[in-house]
Amino acid sequence: MKLPYAEPFRIKVVEPLRTSTKEERAKWIEDAHFNLFNLRSEQVFIDLLTDSGTGSMSSHQWAEMMLGDESYAGASSFYKLKETIEELLGFPYMLPTHQGRAAENVLFSAIIGKDGTGKVVPGNSHFDTTKGHIEFRNARAIDCTIDEAFDTTIDHPFKGNIDLEKLEKVFKQYDRENIPMCIITVTCNTSGGQPVSMQNIKDVSALCKKYGITVIFDAARFAENAYFIKIREEGYQDKTIKEIVREMFSHVDGCTMSAKKDGIVNMGGFIGLNSKELYEKASVFNIVFEGYLTYGGMTGRDMGALAVGLKEATEYDYLEQRVGQVAYLGRMLRDYGIPVQEPFGGHAIFVDAKRFLTKVPKEEFIAQTLGVELYIEGGVRGVEIGTLLADRDPDTRENRYPDLELLRLAIGRRLYTDSHMEYIAAALKNVYDRRDEITKGLKIVKEAPIMRHFTVELERA
């Protein structure tokens, strides 16, 4: 009999969680203007808002933090991180930043420039900050994800893949100088935490090389992507995660990374590059926006913890349990009849809000409504990946209605037990059982001009 996976760690420190009543939660979310970001952490029982920076660090990471070198220039912790990135990913040039969006800010300043009017950046369902940094510079993000990604009922092993025909159409439509880069997000968060196959990475890289386009990974969850390649793609079953990772990155010119995901740290990020010329150009912006080249936006102790975390995240046993726990939640929800994006992603379960709340109009923010209902029901905080996040069209200022309207339940790394997964599933089932009673959603009272979902204020429609 094949043994099931078990957590490849022991619990040494615990943090108490506060329970609350439905009445309390209903008042708290109203006071928060129905924006889950506005809740205080102590008002949340199980926090699935994000897996970014919420994981638990290992004893080896904590030990490395005690060795942190806080020298302003030339810190040994920087060189530990630099050597780890070169060993794992193959990039000879690295710039540390305080998180992923900072890495985007620095690199996009170097590649797109201050004013990107007329420029486009194709890719697979760009994440919110990625699209925000592109549009902030007056450029446009073009989604070239395969069509299968937008049907949550289709069982496709690599729904994060880029459609080569869509991508080449962009290359033919725009002049080379107006396409500063192509971004491959691994795994693709906005389409449901879906992986990109090695073959697709190779094909996209070859097509970009044909047209002279720079290829950049949004590498926040690269290790989870490598795990899916190992278990789903022919020819990779006998390769180690680290071997797969090295091959993945051999096909791109650089990456940005929010290390708060597959770096398993609470804060940090970096840019990895092959080109010395691009590195030197980006270095200017890194000093302006982040800090000196050997610390960027990070402390020495955080760089040390990240160097260890990157190695731990690329171990098979860790990934088997991490992805397996997400799938455990997904299977329970599916058994309850709750519609979710399938196959299950690596870091989160994405509930198909359109198929869940069929009576709420699309203009009333279906996924956000579902997130509010789940919070009131069980104190579980998820996040909307739908119309609020899609924001308004930069030209018409009309709401953009994406094909997918999802409630993301992001699972922190080494953070919760399977009992927490069972609680989450039961709370969502209770909402599902009364779904036909939910006929009204939410309307906007106040919003920011860009990336509104973080600070938007809403009221009942």
Q: Is 72 a catalytic residue?
A: yes
Q: How many CB atoms lie within 10 A of CB 396?
A: 8
Q: Is 416 a catalytic residue?
A: no
Give Dmax over CA atoms of the chain in angstroms.
Answer: 61
DSSP string, 82-136: HHHHHHHH--SEEEEESSHHHHHHHHHHHHT-S--TT-EEEESS--HHHHHHHHH
The whole-angstrom separation of Cα 68 and Cα 426 is 43
Angle at the Cα of 291 from the Cα atoms of 293 and 314, rounded to 5 degrees: 60
Catalytic residue among 119, 131, 230, 261: 261
Q: Is 347 a catalytic residue?
A: no
Catalytic residue among 47, 51, 128, 143: 128
Catalytic residue among 72, 335, 440, 446: 72
Q: Is 128 a catalytic residue?
A: yes
Question: Is the backbone of residue 437 left (phi > 0), alpha (psi -120 to 50) or beta?
Answer: alpha
Q: Is 395 a catalytic residue?
A: no
Residue 232, CA distances (Å) to 37, 158, 229, 343 in order: 35, 9, 5, 11
Catalytic residue among 93, 127, 344, 365: 127
Local structure of residue 158 (DSSP, 8 states): T
Question: Is the backbone of residue 291 left (phi > 0), alpha (psi -120 to 50) or beta?
Answer: left
Query: Is 269 in a helix, a strand, or coil?
Result: strand
Q: Is 261 a catalytic residue?
A: yes
Residue 58, CA distances (Å) to 61, 63, 263 in order: 5, 9, 12
Contact 263, 361 (CB under 8 A): no
Q: Is 285 a catalytic residue?
A: no
Q: Where are the alpha helices (DSSP H) in 127-218?
A: 128-136, 164-173, 198-211
Catalytic residue among 75, 139, 220, 390: 220
Catalytic residue among 47, 69, 218, 302: 218
The pair phi, psi for residue 258, each rounded to 5°, is -85, 105
Catalytic residue among 82, 98, 354, 453: 453
DSSP string, 253-268: SEEEEETTTTT--SS-
Catalytic residue numbers read 72, 127-128, 218, 220, 261, 453
